[in-house]
A and B are shown apart, each in its own frame.
Chain A
């Protein structure tokens, strides 16, 4: 994987499954539909700007652009429902489902991390299975999808919606859809691209979401609390535990994966 630390003991790939195949497929479909929605949606928001016009002409016109956009919207909404069903169906399994739950601890983790990064503290916050960045991103995607789906459907079926709701929700939904889209795109470009691609320790990309695996070394470094828990219940691969880190590998802050 070319990361410092991962294979440094020469013990082969001491890795652990982090994401199931189903989760990786889910992420891949999310990636495809999100990108398709951005590339067909943004030129609709900026249809009076040169590049927006050119993209719409490229797609064959506004009707075709909307058709592609709505097709992927349906895929994303279906994916959202699938995700909810899986979360509900597996809620009682001991598979660390609630690791995405937000709590006051995540705010404290963030503040502790800011203190560390800015040099006001030497102490690394100890993250669990998902650190505060990952949790915030997860909830942002979930919340964003709900907003985008709701406002998108209002614009798609204005006649039906206005049987019950005041008509002003239609132009309001249009504004919200554009605003939320811009927010989502900028957040992904800045936050997700940085954490999953451009951070010096993962550049050019963090493979965990595609290989499904994370090395033990990295797990211990970036998700120490999860590492300890797994060790306690004996869930770590036998005999493959790396030595306790007396000299930490390349400086790594809390990261994705």
Chain B
């Protein structure tokens, strides 16, 4: 009996928050098992596996599981309020907002936040970009260099974008000068943040607006000012280089398009002519040497 009381007292000492307090190890004992899933009655499932290594490397490593999952301290766990996987993610934003209230407020006012309130199924929540348990510092080189892929998760997908009358812009971006540089930084020098513009440098991270919204930094009237945040001495015509992530065509950037067409004709034309002359010359050599032709 004495030992029982003592061990209970030690247990309480170790976890002063509550009698039922858990260490992360306790939770991870089950949750590191790969493939653990929760099925939702209204549809969808969520993988509840947490990689202990990734969590330990995340910015949230000092937190306990129950810091965020406040209602999951007991076992068996209480049923969650959400009926679907999607609504679980949407509701989970309130957990983030507990600490990140400023960002949450800005996000709510953004086009993404508006979409969430309208119940649109594809709109990102906090965890769509930051992940749930492997959250890295947004200022880190890895996070920055990976931004085009993060946004590209949706903005590369023609089907998803089509539902909202948008164009997929990812491919055009990675072929642009900014995109090429960022991609190569990610590939060759991943520990250095790309000095080239990534999505959020122009569109902002949490306050994204429609480009047609006059308050958007990429609204036509604001583009030059936005360019000048990096290109300090950008000339007054600088922004007309901008083609809205459109592949060049006669309608968008006709000059670029015409140069493209010019070289598409010129290169095979010239190379074809040279190849012909070279082949002819070789032919001449062959017939004079082996064909008995004399000149």
Contact = CB atoms under 8 A, between A and B. Distances in A.
Interface of A: 44, 47-48, 53, 56-57, 60-63, 114, 116-119, 122, 124, 133, 155, 158-172, 174-176, 178-180, 182-183, 186-187, 190-191, 194, 199-200, 248, 251, 253
Nearest to A192: B274
Contacts of B233: 159-160
Contact of A168 (B234, B253, B266): B253
B267 A183 contact: yes
B188 A57 contact: yes
Interface residues of B, number: 51
7 contacts: A61-B189, A162-B237, A174-B177, A183-B270, A187-B271, A200-B289, A253-B285
Given A56-B188, A62-B188, A167-B242, A118 B280 contact: yes
Nearest to A52: B184
Contacts of A166: 237, 240-241
A127 B145 CA distance: 58
A162 B260 contact: no
A179 B263 contact: yes
Nearest to A59: B188
Contacts of A176: 259, 263
A181 B23 CA distance: 62
Interface string B166-180: 000000001001001
B250 interface: no
B204 interface: no
B222 interface: no
B231 interface: yes
Given A187-B271, A190-B274, A172 B295 contact: no
B191 to A, nearest CB: 10
Contact of B240 (A53, A57, A167): A167
Contact of B183 (A48, A117, A168, A182): A48
A180 B280 CA distance: 25
Given A162-B236, A183-B270, A251 B288 contact: yes
Nearest to A133: B277
Given A122-B295, A172-B256, A117 B237 contact: no
B235 A53 contact: no
B241 A167 contact: yes
Interface string B208-250: 0000000000000000000000011111111111110000100
B263 A180 contact: yes
